[in-house]
Each structure stands twice: as structure tokens, then as C-alpha cells.
Amino acid sequence: MRRVVITGLGGVSALGIGVPALWDGLAAGRSGVRRVTVCDTSILSNPIAAEVPSFDPAAHLTPDQLLLFDRSTAFAMIAASEAWAQADLELTDEERERAGVLMGTGMGGVTRQDEAYRDLYEKKVARSHPFTIPRIMSNAAASHISMRFRLEGPTLCISTACASASHAIGEAAELIRSGRADVMVAGGADAPIATGVVKAWEGMRVLAPCGDDPAAACRPFSADRQGLVLGEGAGAVILEERERAIRRGAVIHAELAGYAATADAAHITAPGVDAPARAIRQALAQAGLAPEQVDYVNAHGTATRLNDKTETTIIKRVFGDHARKLAVSSTKSMHGHIMGASGAIELLAALMAIERGIVPPTANYRQRDPECDLDYVPNQAREMKVDVAVSNSFAFGGLNAVLAVRRA
Amino acid sequence: MSELDPIEQKVIELIAQKKRIPPESISLDSTFLELGIDSLDGMDLLFNFEESFKLTIPDEMAQQMKSVRQVADALRTALANSPRSTTT
């Protein structure tokens, strides 16, 4: 049985550019949520988000890339480049054909789309820019990453809303397990802070109101939670067949030991219990792990009333008595809900727990909810040895992805 | 149905259209639960109420609207608070 290990990490989020910045922010329990600056907020009722702070694309991209990329593609390229450099891979021509890319995105190049449509409908411009389509297509990030690193194997994109990155990483691992690839760049990216998109989220009435203190708006599992906060960014990992990684003396962060995907097949927005619980069980079964071996769960934890209550039920159902011994946290309280990048950034948070021995907290936790009665690591990171961590992603549309990682 | 005021009539009409049921089957005391209105239907209805009455229903008010009477009362309050509120 071929096994899969992680040999490179990259991340861009409201906590900064690069995995060290992400880990430092998470360890400090720092929220990256603030008032929106990257789009026109004049018609928004709720102008807060977890924006990547003072992001200057020109500092990271070539002029050609600047012209062609959406903001989400820029984040994806920066995260993938960080992970790629760290993995320190040198591939032969033959090996390149067995190396690919699998990126998730919820909405693709939506900032460029918003801009293009505003020019058409509002400014009544005579023509759209010729690069509009390549800028907004959902596979832009996967394609540009494959071109940048000349990876010629299976290269795909997955769009399963908030679970996109977890599905992408999990399916990339399956490509390696099944022998169709030896190396995969996998992750997810989204940049949904565009006026039209935020307005659409306002219409769903699931966003936390901005209030006087945006940084404290996202309060997962807290009794006074009031909804989700959008975020932006990208996360990427290099997945590699284990024997190959050992042979070349690669630095191995952890083993991607288990993955499962299930569907509620029930409701387009309300979360289920049975299918997500089955996903956690199946991921652990693939990893050959008993539920009692899990130390930390990085929750989906959106901070909506329904998600957090339901996820608590799911965790209790799968872990039984062990649920009360687990550390469970939602790092969305700090990096926001990054849609198609969430699963990747949250896997990086779980890897921090294994690698640094620091479990990231649930920030802004204020008040115990009788329906959410687990140990959510409130407000302060915890020093704790973590050998096994699970990351949950439960998407709109009832599509669930769970990743299990183990100390290598 | 003669005792219904225009707001109540409109609310019932919009719910009847949404659920594809006869308006006669809906009373002021009908709850969203009884009418089979789930969270998604509820979001769509709120949007229809806002568009029809040309006003904005705040989230806190929306969360209280679980029956036809509660909707009509809330709309009446909202209309009184912002009589000239048109599309934003």
C-alpha cells in the first residue's frame, strides 16, 4: 500500500504571507478580521472580512502574471511557490509526467469577474478585456501552478464550496495512493471580498454583523456567536509518495494518513449529521486509526448557530467519551471563512499542532453554549503534544471532506 | 378573508405563490413550520417581502418571523419606521 507524506507547506491568509506568519498568528490567538478595504463598500451593510493585510501583488508576481491573474490565483501561486521551495524537489522529465496539481476554489476568479461586469453594466465600456475568461476560470490557479513548475501529470481543480481544498488535498493523495502520480501540489484558494459577492452573502443572512469591534465578530462555538466572516487567501501542500520522500531525504512534516468524502444528499444549505460523521469514521479507518488516538480536531466551525451545534453533535457521535478529551478548535475565528481555501489553511493549522506542539485556539470565545459543550481551546493556544489531528470541512450543498494527519 | 388588512393579504399572497398552495389554506396563525417553510424558503420569502414592500428587514427582526401574523406585524413596524424607505 502506497502511503502519502507532506513535504512542503505554503499559506497566505489574513494572518500574513507565509506559513510562519500564519502559525505565529494562530499561536497568538490573533484575529485578522477588519473593515473591508479591497472593494467598494458603499452598498454593503456588513463591510468586514479577514483580508490579507497590505497585499502588494507586484511584490510577488511578474508583470505578465499581474495582467493574467485574479487575486485568488495570486494567493494560490504564492502559497504553492512557498510549498514548492520548501520541498526542494528536482524532477527529471519522466518524473514530471507523474507530478500534478489539484487545487480547490469555491468561486474562482471572482474579483476579476466582479470588476469586468461592473465595467460593462455600470461604466458601459465597449468591450471586455481579452484576458477576462482566463482570469476568471476556476482552473486558472491549477493551470498556472502546473506551468510555473512544469508539472505534466494529472492536473485538476475541484469546486465544492467550503470543502474545496480538503477535497483537493484528499483526492490528490488518492492519486498518489493509486499509483497515478508520485508528487502533487494540492490546496485551495479564494478571494471572495468583491462587492457583488459580499452583497450576495449578506442576502443569505449568515454573516456576523460588523459591530464596533470587527476583530471579535467571528465567535465559533460561543453562545453569543452571530454568523460567519468571509476571509481570503490560499493554502498549498506538497504531497509525495512516502518511500520516494524518504529515499531523497526530504523533510517530512506529517503523513496524510486518511481522507474521506461523503454527501448529505439532503439540503442545499443546512448541515447533516450522518454523512459528516461517516466521513470522519472513514478517514480514520483509512488511516488505520481508532477514534481514541485523535488528539486534536480542527473544526469546520463557521460560527453560524446551526453549524457549530451540529458539528458538536457529529464529534460526540464519532468519538463517544473521547470527545470530551479532545482538543477542538475553529481557527476561522482568526483567518475567517476562506471558502475554497479553508481546508488547506486549516490543515496547516493542524500541522502546526503536530510540528510545534501548539494547538491553535478558538478566538473570541466568550460564553458557554449548552449545545456546544466540548473543549474548544478558548482564546489561548495550548501547548500539547499532538500526534494525530483531524480537519473537518462541511460545505454548502452537503458535501463533506475530512483529512486525518499523523506524525511521520 | 375580509378581516385581513392589505399587508396581511400581500404576505399571504407571497407565501401562497412561493409554496404553490391556495391562499385560502393560509391563515394569520399559520406558522412557517406548518406551511413547510424551511430556512431556505424563509430566506427567499424575506427577499420577496423586502422587494414587495420596498424596505429592509434587519436580521434580528427576520429571526423573529415564524408565523404569518409575526411577518405582518414586523412589516407594519418596519413600514412605520421607514415610511419613505425605497430601494437602497
pLDDT one-digit tens code per residue, A384-402: 999 999 999 999 999 999 9
Chain A residues bordering chain B (beta-carbon distance below 8 Å): 43, 203-205, 209, 267-270, 306
Task: Please give the ipTM for the structure prediction.
Answer: 0.73
Mark whether A300 is an active-site residue.
yes
Q: Name the residue with higher pLDDT: A325 or B38.
A: A325
Q: Where are the beta strands (DSSP E) in A47-150?
A: 48-49, 99-104
A335 is catalytic: no
Residues A47-53, mean pLDDT to the nearest whole number: 97
Cα–Cα distance list, A141 to A65, A99, A108, A320 (Å): 11, 16, 8, 40
Q: Within a 13 Å sphere around the CA of A328, how many CA atoms are in the beta-carbon half?
A: 26
Is residue A131 over pLDDT 80?
yes
**pLDDT tens-place string over residues A206-217:** 999 988 999 999
Neighbours of B38 (CB within 10 A): 12
Nearest to B40 among A43, A209, A268 (CB): A268
Per-residue model confidence as pLDDT tens digits over A154-166: 999 999 999 999 9
**pLDDT level of residue B85 (50, 70, 90 thresholds):** very low
Q: Are A8 and A237 in contact (CB under 8 A)?
A: yes
What is each CA distance from A312 to A262, A320, A340, A354, in whole angstroms?
18, 11, 22, 23
Residues of A in contact with B39 (CB under 8 A): 269-270, 306
- CB-CB: which of B39, B47, B88 is closest to A203? B47
Q: Which chain B residues are Cβ-neighbours of A270 within 8 angstroms?
A: 38-40
Q: Average pLDDT of chain A?
A: 97
Whose CA is closest to A220, among A349, A54, A39, A404? A349
From B38, B62, B88, residue closest to A205, measured CB to CB: B62
Contact assignment for B88 to A204 by CB distance below 8 Å? no
Considering only CA atoms, give the Rg of chain A: 20
Catalytic residue among A144, A253, A300, A335: A300
SS3 A199: helix
Which pLDDT value is given to residue A304?
96
- Cβ atoms A397, A275 nearer than 8 A: no
Angle between helices A164-177 and A342-356 (to 10 degrees): 70
How close, in Å, is residue B3 to chain A by CA atoms? 33
Instruction: Give pTM, 2 decimals.
Output: 0.93
Closest Cα in chain A to B42: A204
Q: Which of A43, A205, A270 sits opposite B59 (nearest CB)?
A: A205
Q: Which residue has the cell 468561486?
A: A107
The pLDDT tens digits for A311-323 are 999 999 999 999 9
Give the residue from A202, A205, A207 with the most B CB atoms within 10 Å of its CB, the best one to mutate.
Answer: A205
Residues A184 and A30: beta-carbon distance below 8 Å: no
